[in-house]
């Protein structure tokens, strides 16, 4: 977490959380979802505005974390902005180097613990950082890792993944919390 964010949290600890305004798609792209977008339909059917500004993306990615319930959020100064996930908390990029290095959509290196296939044939990796989907552009390289026996995917339905790996696709406020 950035020090400026930690300082803002100390200064204003009671800022209400934000829900529904930020989303992460299956390709690791961030989307802003204003009131009009949210009213037009649920994520990912209606995505919103893709965040293109490099420094804003980097700020979000440095301050991206998970709460105790498995809901992922971006700590925006004193405000926690919960993230809607299309597939999983991370989107993995796989390198074609020795032993197929893996990095998260946030730029962090990861060590693969296990691999999984859903009913649509999408490949997921459980790593030391957490659980995520392999980026579609890296499936050719990932297939090489599987064919070489480096990863041995087990099967699991998409619907079972959040509970198995402890994350929430669509975080919602508690009934007592303002939405």
pLDDT digits (tens, 9 = 90+) for 112-144: 999 999 999 999 999 999 999 999 999 999 999
pLDDT > 90: percent of the chain: 83
Are 11 and 72 part of one and the same domain? yes
pLDDT, tens only, 35-49: 999 999 999 999 999
* pLDDT at residue 178 is higher than 70: no
Mean pLDDT score of the chain, rounded to an integer? 94
The answer to whether residue 138 is domain-embedded is: yes
Are 15 and 29 part of one and the same domain? yes
Q: Which two tokens stand for residue 3?
A: 């020090």
The answer to whether residue 165 is domain-embedded is: no
Are 155 and 94 part of one and the same domain? yes
Are 98 and 115 part of one and the same domain? yes
The answer to whether residue 176 is domain-embedded is: no
Are 141 and 77 part of one and the same domain? no
Are 114 and 152 part of one and the same domain? yes
* pLDDT at residue 174 is higher than 90: no
Host domain of residue 94: 90-160
Q: What is the pTM of this model?
A: 0.91
* pLDDT at residue 176 is higher than 90: no
Are 81 and 95 part of one and the same domain? no
pLDDT > 70: percent of the chain: 96
* 168 contacts 70 by C-beta, under 8 angstroms: yes
For residues 142 and 11, what is the distance between their CA atoms, to the nearest angstrom? 45
* 31 contacts 23 by C-beta, under 8 angstroms: yes
Are 79 and 150 part of one and the same domain? no
């Amino acid at each position: 977490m950035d020090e400026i964010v930690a300082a803002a949290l100390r200064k204003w600890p009671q800022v209400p959380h934000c829900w529904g305004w930020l989303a992460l798609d299956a390709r690791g792209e961030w989307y802003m979802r204003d009131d009009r977008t949210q009213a037009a339909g649920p994520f990912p059917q209606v995505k919103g505005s893709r965040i293109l500004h490099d420094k804003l993306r980097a700020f979000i990615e440095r301050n991206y974390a998970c709460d105790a319930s498995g809901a992922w959020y971006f700590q925006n100064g004193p405000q926690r902005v919960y993230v809607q996930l299309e597939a999983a908390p991370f989107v993995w990029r796989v390198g074609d180097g020795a032993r197929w290095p893996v990095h998260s959509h946030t730029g962090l290196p990861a060590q693969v613990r296990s691999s999984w296939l859903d009913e649509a044939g999408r490949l997921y990796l459980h790593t030391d950082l957490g659980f995520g989907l392999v980026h579609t552009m890296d499936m050719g390289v990932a297939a090489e890792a599987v064919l070489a026996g480096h990863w041995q995917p087990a099967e699991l339905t998409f619907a079972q993944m959040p509970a198995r790996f402890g994350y929430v696709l669509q975080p919602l406020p508690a009934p007592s919390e303002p939405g």
